[in-house]
Structure 1
Amino acid sequence: MRRRIYLDSAATTPIREEALQATVGAYRNAFGNSSSVHLFGQEAHRLLEESREEFAACIGARPEEVVFTGSGTESDNLAIRGVALAVREVGRHIITSQTEHHAVLHCCQELEKEGFRVTYLPVDGRGLVDLEALRENIEADTVLISVMTANNETGALQPVREIARIARERGVLFHTDAVQAAGKMPLHVDDLGADLVSFSAHKFYGPKGVGALFIRKGTPIRPIMQGGHHEKGLRPGTVNVPGIVGMARALSTTVEEMEEVLPRLRQLRDELAEALMEEVPGVHRNGDPETSLPHILNLSFEGADGESLLLALDMEGVAVSTGSACTSGSVEPSHVLLAMGVPPRLAQCSLRFSLGRYTTEEDIQHVIRVLPGIVERIRRISGRRRPVLVT
């Protein structure tokens, strides 16, 4: 049987056994609507609130500050649009970065059509925003700053604590998309200093179709959908209790093992990077390993199209990505890499390797064995046998 290796954990993770059992148990034993007053509903409501407490404890929040959603994208939209609607009479200027997930960028672009102004901060070659540029762009009517905790394509860790301090000093609300960071680094909302923080279960070995938004007490926000009174009136619709139960269990068990798992992932990631950069000419590492998550490696291979590399690796049983899973099918170079100053031609030659708790040394060694030959073959086919330095 062909070996199957999964190195696309930044796109999604397999549900871990503890979360799976918790989710299935809730489906079987607490199928009632958590808003119903009868015993079936009461049981579902009890599990919902216990899971809210479990999730809140993992991030250092109070249970009443956690609102459950259907995804990280919904959490981002609720945070940004919900705050914008609540404070639009105070100001209509929002600041974000050029390398945000499209859940943030597209939401901001829609708000521009509705009369808001958005400043998209540039980033440096590491993918980090300039704090002085942030300070300079805060205006009298700035009401929200939204900068992600960690980038989903490169793993770049933004200086969120410093951003939060600047926002607080200027009286501006701060949202951070922590979807990629959760389970990959300690996340305590008071340490982050953010007013709103987005999460998605399937990024930390939980079920798909469920997310959460931390909303610090006192933060002005309005619902962006209309319907029932669920989730304190901020997220109408029957609550996905089994998914929430699984998400809370996934985060708590993943947080418990971080000290053991993360150093191993960092070692495997660096081993893969060093071997490929040594054995394959014309390889560029996108981002700084010292300021990035431990499980993401983004490399560009001169003269070898990223999509061709991805398909060839898939034929070898290795799953990777050319960037964000949410832009799959796009022929455009990564907006993240372009913002970091990577030339378009080189950006189109990039692969993202993202490791997870199930990644082994044998997996990494297999990729090291097969990828150099794949790169050479694709370069030969494309007429670029010897890589040319891209500047």
Structure 2
Amino acid sequence: MIILLLSLMASAHAEITPFFGDLENFKTKSLTIQTEEQNLVASNDLLLSRRLFWTPKLTLSLDKNRTKLNNVTVTDNDGINADLTLNLFKGGTDWNNMKDAKAQRSAQRLQVLNENLRVEVKASDLIFRALYINESQRIEEKLLKLKEESYKIVKDRYNQGKIPLQEVTKSEVDLVQQKNKLRTAVLELSENRSQIASLFINVIQTKTWPFDEKTMPKLPSSTNLPVAEQKFWISQSREQAWQATKGFHWPSLDFHLQYQVAPIKERTDKQIVGVLSLTLPIWNQYETSSQISTAYASYIGALNDYKETDQALQQRTLFLKEKIEMARLNLYESKRNLDLSKKLYEDIMRSFRLGRISTNDLIIEQNRLLESENNLAISQLTFHQGIIEACTLSGLKSVECLQ
């Protein structure tokens, strides 16, 4: 019991972390998910309707007929009609339509799942890019302070007559370029916030990278990818629609029963009419054959779309595994490289203050430090994007795959 309780607590904790909480917030406010869920309700109703194809159609109507001539009522009849119509045979068309509706429901169920996963991917990308741009802005601000410091040192040396004016100009140009880079980062962050707000999200709670380089996604061994599986059920739906269209060549046998009472008060006229009709299609200007050809083309198109999608996603899954491992390695090395770059820059800066190296050498090391910082941020972004895409492509929610 204790182990079970701890497991439930751990699961609950994973679900309320800021990142997973942000994902749920995106999905809750997604209008496309709401639309697909309503489409699922419609597909369920359609299937129920198609499953009841064997039941009769029953209608009831009330008639009121009153005629006056020179303010004298000539006729005043009230009647009631009850009609029952039952299809006895239609060449299997109704059966195929039921299978078509069943395939549509299966496809729509997967569409709801895929839309949830698609929103997770989009939300994750916006969250990760916000973290990346924030990190880039922090790096650019840090580097701007370093360049302002170096520009001040260069200017003091020039005033002391130790270096030529060209060194001051180089440092000033480099400083202006850095200010431009910082403005660009600020603008990118503003654009990211605008994109998040367009999805009805005012603020995100994730402030740091949610996963470290040791995170391993729990991918299933099965290769049934939900996006491809949805395409499969769409092709099955088109196949049944094609089979149903072929049934238009078959005869139809119908039974019609009508009960009439008029007028209602006296019930003087009662009538029961039963009709058994056989309809045999002979020639309809080639319309049925044209519809069959069109339905078959639609089926082949959907089937080939499924095959192409399945092949592409299988290869994408293999690539993502390589991408994640490569990004994991880059993340390890980027952290180590940044530590080395920071130590190297401290040494270079000491030498610069002592006048042992030129402004050009200092700018090179500043750019090297910037590159190391950026490489770490890019590695974080690539790694996080890879594991989220791998999870969702496999049909798993991020909280299930990465907790």
User: TM over 0.5: same fold?
Assistant: no
Higher Cα radius of gyration:
2
TM-score by length of 2: 0.17
